[in-house]
Amino acid sequence: MEPEARIGSTDFPPDEVLVARLRDGDEAAFVLLVDTWSGGMGRLARSFVATNESAAEVVQDTWLAVIRGIDSFEGRASLKTWIYRILVNTAKRRGVREGRTVPMSSLLPTDEDYGPTVDPARFLEAGHEWAGHWREFPAAWPSPESAAVSGEIHAQVADAVAALPDRQRIVITLRDVEGYTSDEVREILDISAANQRVLLHRARASVRARLETYFASVDAEHVGGEAVP
Amino acid sequence: MSDLDCNEFVELVTTFLDGALDDETERRFLDHLSACDACDTYLDQMRQTTQTLGTLPPESLPDDARDKLLDAFRDWNR
């Protein structure tokens, strides 16, 4: 499956061009990066620190570290991955100062990340001829075109992500919101692909469940509206 | 009929989308998918969920923070 195009990823200069321009002090290049990446960086930083203000400062501190460190960038990872690693380290140090630690160990799946991600009551019980099969089919959703990814859908999804445990939120933010591959996330967070999948799967199932509830409520309203003219 | 049940299928979706199922499990996954409309719907909704996540609009940096960074960049290169 083709990942969603990231903002600016199509006409974006390649890393070696960007790095050369940053080293030359090219302001336009710096502004382009800051404007394109700061939003996603803030979202990720927010998972490690206590407040939005604190996350904004982490983003600023990260860019300052990028300015100071660009000469030492060796191109072993992509520029964005390198910057995200600086961000995660900066955010973690700050999170520790604020007493809101997300130590590496808590990014690993825990017992509660295993087990069914869909309510077992949705499936027929043991002993039934069709045990383990859907009791009722999941209701169809409006087609992506007709739903037109409205602001309300975005709000529901953002809210569902915010409610996830830190470790799940961090992984789904990087993988699905920012569009990183599992290799890139391993480079940024040092979590194996298998462990990422455990967290990602549970997080996606939670967000899907939120959308399911939302579409069902919209549907009920709609039907109700028609029944009572 | 496939030997995978729906409640097992739904737990394999992310590994499948990552292309990380072993050959045998992937075969069972696809056998089940081809025979089960409910799981086809579930897989599609998980995909749609992922795609919607990818369209969340990022918040932009406040103007004063952006200005400060630009100043720092200029200073550094002076």
Compute the distance between CA of residue A92 and CA of residue A32 in angstroms, rounded to an integer. Answer: 26
The mean pLDDT value for A56-79 works out to 93
Contact B42 A30 (CB under 8 A): no
The mean pLDDT value for A99-118 works out to 78
Quick check: is A67 in a domain? yes
Number of domains in chain A: 2
Contact A42 B58 (CB under 8 A): yes
pLDDT recorded at residue B34: 94
pLDDT of B17 over the 50 cut? yes
- φ and ψ at A171, to 5 degrees? -70, -45
A117, A191: one domain? yes
ipTM associated with this complex: 0.86
Q: Please report, for the domain that includes residue A43, its CATH number.
A: 1.10.1740.10
Last residue of a domain, one of A33, A66, A97: A97
Contact A197 B15 (CB under 8 A): yes
Quick check: is A2 in a domain? no
The mean pLDDT value for A127-136 works out to 92
- Contact of A32 with chain B, judged by CB distance below 8 Å, is answered with no
- Contact of B41 with chain A, judged by CB distance below 8 Å, is answered with yes
A37, A133: one domain? no
pLDDT recorded at residue A3: 41
Confidence grade of residue A225 (pLDDT, cut at 50, 70, 90): very low
Quick check: is A9 in a domain? no
User: Higher model confidence: residue B60 or residue A59?
Assistant: A59
CATH of domain B6-76: 1.10.10
Tokens of A185: 């996330």
A33, A109: one domain? no
Nearest in space to A104 (alpha carbons), one of A178, A42, A188, A160 = A188
pLDDT recorded at residue A101: 58
